[in-house]
């Protein structure tokens, strides 16, 4: 049966140069795997002014419930210095038991394995009593505007409803069976601009250096800690990621300085309460640390980046137990249930149904010579196949 071999599936996907936002043939390759299994396929083009057009794919097998969604992305990050790769980034070469290629683990490998798992399930048991769908975007590594969010809206508008979702991102730090993601921290970003008065560095009394202000304000954002963590999440953490003055002259006090920051936050906060806390810290620092003694408070502007990612935690026992049980049955390891790491498209899916994440080992994602152990492709396929059987059994209870 077509698609039953995860190695062949992944080889076909890697050979498609789908560097975001290009489709690169990857969705066409996936469609060729799923159509013979009985899936109905829709290719959905999403557009928005100022962003690249993105082609996405939605495939469904079955018409009734319960309905299990598998979500992921076929777009990949750029290859970087191609001459530094020991095997071509789109060659899918196998050497020493590993397949090389951009997207091997992030996350064409997960898609290849889930397609193989569905094919094996059908081969052994027939189509499940319910529905399985693939929600696959080409915009996860890009702006994430014309991808999963638009595809979810399109599908929901035509009546699609889901009972659970598995995202195939590479969640395992060291070996398969290490970790299932059952939630994600929120993410909030912003940029502070401090306004000073430009002048000669030798005559500071005639100027106001915004550099002094930006240092005070950024320090206030980083200390004290925002919280000590919660039962399910590590402590919230803010990082200042840039400080810029755009000043090329060492004897000129600049007129303004800016700093950007990102905070990954736990369920102590939501976006609104966190914004209020950040503004309060900045206002205090601005009042207490003028650019020079006797001068007015620091003048600053704060611009928030659009669309913060909201913290979430999945509590669906049937979904978590089905996946944990499948991992342990195949690998003999009990996976850690975690909320660590960055964001993923699960942050959009959680508004439609319970969602968890589990995929390959992520040690080489986004790196030169991204690669996956061929043995892991077979193991992950077995985990996914076991999960499909267990989830449909639990969901029917």
Give the pLDDT confidence of 139-156 residue by residue, as tens digits.
999 888 999 999 999 999
What separation in angstroms does the CA of 97 have from each of 82, 100, 346, 379?
22, 10, 31, 14
- Give the pLDDT mean for 340-356: 94
Numbered ranges of CATH 3.40.630.10 in the chain: 6-184+311-395
Is the pLDDT at 72 greater than 50? The verdict is yes
Residues 6+ apart with CB under 8 A from 70: 111, 114, 132, 133, 134, 135, 165, 166, 167, 168
Q: Of residues 5, 55, 75, 106, which has the active-site annotation?
A: 75
Q: What is the pLDDT of residue 397?
A: 47
Is the pLDDT at 294 greater than 80? The verdict is no
Is the pLDDT at 291 greater than 80? The verdict is no
Numbered ranges of CATH 3.30.70.360 in the chain: 187-304
The pLDDT confidence band at residue 386, using thresholds 50, 70 and 90, is: very high
CA-to-CA distance for 177 and 386, rounded, in angstroms? 13
CB distance 95 to 30 below 8 Å:
no
The pLDDT confidence band at residue 248, using thresholds 50, 70 and 90, is: confident
- Give the pLDDT mean for 61-81: 96
Name residue 98's beta-bridge partners. 95, 373
Q: How far is CA 298 from the centre of its chain?
A: 36
Q: Where are the beta strands (DSSP E) in 276-358?
A: 299-304, 312-313, 336-338, 355-357
User: 188-197, 231-240, 285-294: which range is least confident on average?
Assistant: 285-294
Looking at every residue in the chain, the average pLDDT score rounds to 95
DSSP 197: B
Residue 106 or 201, more confident = 106
Q: Of residues 23, 139, 140, 208, which has the active-site annotation?
A: 140
CATH class, range 187-304: alpha beta
Catalytic residue status for 5: no
CATH class, range 6-184+311-395: alpha beta
Tokens representing 392? 């449909």
Is the pLDDT at 285 greater than 70? The verdict is yes
Q: What is the pLDDT of residue 103?
A: 98
- Give the pLDDT mean for 264-283: 97
- Give the pLDDT mean for 190-219: 91
- Give the pLDDT mean for 211-221: 94
The pLDDT confidence band at residue 120, using thresholds 50, 70 and 90, is: very high
What separation in angstroms does the CA of 81 have from each of 55, 88, 231, 296?
27, 11, 42, 50
CA-to-CA distance for 2 and 120, rounded, in angstroms? 10
The pLDDT confidence band at residue 395, using thresholds 50, 70 and 90, is: low
pLDDT over 70 percentage in the chain: 98
- Give the pLDDT mean for 15-30: 97
Tokens representing 88? 């071509």
Catalytic residue status for 140: yes
The pLDDT confidence band at residue 293, using thresholds 50, 70 and 90, is: confident
């Amino acid at each position: 049966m077509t698609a039953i071999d995860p190695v062949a599936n992944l080889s076909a996907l890697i050979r498609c140069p789908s560097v975001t936002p290009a489709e690169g043939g990857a969705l066409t390759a996936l469609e060729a795997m799923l159509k013979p299994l009985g899936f109905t396929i829709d290719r959905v083009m999403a557009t928005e002014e100022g962003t690249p057009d993105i082609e996405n794919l939605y495939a469904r097998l079955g018409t009734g419930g319960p309905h299990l969604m598998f979500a992921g992305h076929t777009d990949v990050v750029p290859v970087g210095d191609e001459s530094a790769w020991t095997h071509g980034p789109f060659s899918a070469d196998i050497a020493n038991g590993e397949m090389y290629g951009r997207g091997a683990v992030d996350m064409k490998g997960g898609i290849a394995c889930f397609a193989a798992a569905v094919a094996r399930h059908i081969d052994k048991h027939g189509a499940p009593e319910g529905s399985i769908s693939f929600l696959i975007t080409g915009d996860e590594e890009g702006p994430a505007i014309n991808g999963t969010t638009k595809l979810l809206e399109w599908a929901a508008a035509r009546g699609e409803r889901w009972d659970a979702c598995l995202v195939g991102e590479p969640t395992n730090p060291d070996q398969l069976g290490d970790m299932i993601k059952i939630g994600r921290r929120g993410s909030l970003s912003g940029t502070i601009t401090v306004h000073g008065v430009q002048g000669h560095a030798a005559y500071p009394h005639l100027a106001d250096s915004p550099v002094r202000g930006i240092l005070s304000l950024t320090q206030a954002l980083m200390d004290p800690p925002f919280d000590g963590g919660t039962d399910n999440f590590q402590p919230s953490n803010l990082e200042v990621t840039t400080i810029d003055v755009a000043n090329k002259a060492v004897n000129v006090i600049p007129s303004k300085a800016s700093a950007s920051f990102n905070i990954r936050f736990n369920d102590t906060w939501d976006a609104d309460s966190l914004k209020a806390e950040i503004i309060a810290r900045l206002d205090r620092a601005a009042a207490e640390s003028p650019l020079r003694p006797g001068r007015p408070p620091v003048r600053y502007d704060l611009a928030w980046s659009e669309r913060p990612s909201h913290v979430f935690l999945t509590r669906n026992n049937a979904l978590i137990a089905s996946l944990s049980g499948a991992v342990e049955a195949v690998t003999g390891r009990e996976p850690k249930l975690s909320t660590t790491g960055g964001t993923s498209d699960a942050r959009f899916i959680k508004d439609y149904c319970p969602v968890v994440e589990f995929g390959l080992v992520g040690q080489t994602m986004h790196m030169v010579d991204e690669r996956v152990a061929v043995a892991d492709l077979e193991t992950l396929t077995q985990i996914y196949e076991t999960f499909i059987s267990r989830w449909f059994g639990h969901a029917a209870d």
